[in-house]
Structure 1
């Protein structure tokens, strides 16, 4: 009976974690370049939860272990904006930016120019170029961004946006502000990443799918809660009857 309660609690912890992931996905449905995540779980067989001395030996117990989340790298829909500073990333590449704690990576291509003329993200972080931050003087006109990330004005090429890929992009870690960090080295994207100017990539989260997942998880959580409640009542009844044995 006690083991059943432990199994139920482990399931509730896993379901709560999945609810958090779904809630974060739904909160970022309108976030440019956002990539959804999915929970990943694993069965754990308790090796010592058995009693082989009984005539009918106990079965080994299965618990739920939270194995983290996986990153959905599917392409989000591309929406035309007409803004020459907006870029949508096509393919598995990421845009490198100079974050507060070093180089970070994003798919959000909603750029602008700061007071120093630097190309920056919507959070004000400088976009990394092959030779450092990309700077445009106020007097320059005709700014355009090519498919390979080349930034040009009427005075010529001003730099090229640094596009990178990773051997295992699923290992990227969310670092806040729609940025990712990685312990593995980034490599030049080459033909694996192209930019479309005047457009933005929207979130790849499907609202309908997330709502379906939310209902399934809520239903499962309610079932486990009901099972735990019944087991607790059964234990109370057993204790009460055993206490009345003469």
Structure 2
């Protein structure tokens, strides 16, 4: 890996982690197009740290209120909306954790097939399209049922190409949440998910004897954090103006490109 590859992949990770366009589809396509070797586990850890830092910093004020309310609920101070939201974020994380643990290495590897990613990119783009068209956008609060359903949808995102943000926003729209709030809940859900995924990668890195190039780790974490923060801010402002359809069309085109690039290798 050289510095250009490190910056390009960090920008791509930061840009696609929170947009409903599938980071996995982009991260598998770019190295193939330009002929890069795999970036390695250590760099994956770095960009995960970057995107986690971005979403935590963006929602730092909300998180302070939510966490304070959650602790208050533990000591008998009642369950206000912020405390409930904290519990619902935890509830929505359970299913993806259970499914992730149950998947064998062989199953995970088979799901990383480029054609599987292409199919998922297209299929879940169509589902997002349907959700956008029938969205009622009536609510800005999450219920227990919302948390369960969005959490179940989030587990589907373990299929590369589904897009974690895309599938959770889809679920939120289908349940009647406003676009901006569906996106906010999706991003809050990403915090424990990215933290868990990053922790597993750190453990895997610790157990391996992979050499770590710290300069590239710093570049990856910093660039992905900055790009992810700007992407979250831009996306939330854009949603009310253009909705989800530009991302649907982009995903459909991307899926077709992936099929075109990889169909001869199947």
Does TM, normalized by the shorter one, top 0.5? no
Shorter-normalised TM range: under 0.3
TM value normalised by structure 1: 0.26
Q: Which has the higher strand share?
A: 1
TM value normalised by structure 2: 0.24
Greater Rg by CA: 1
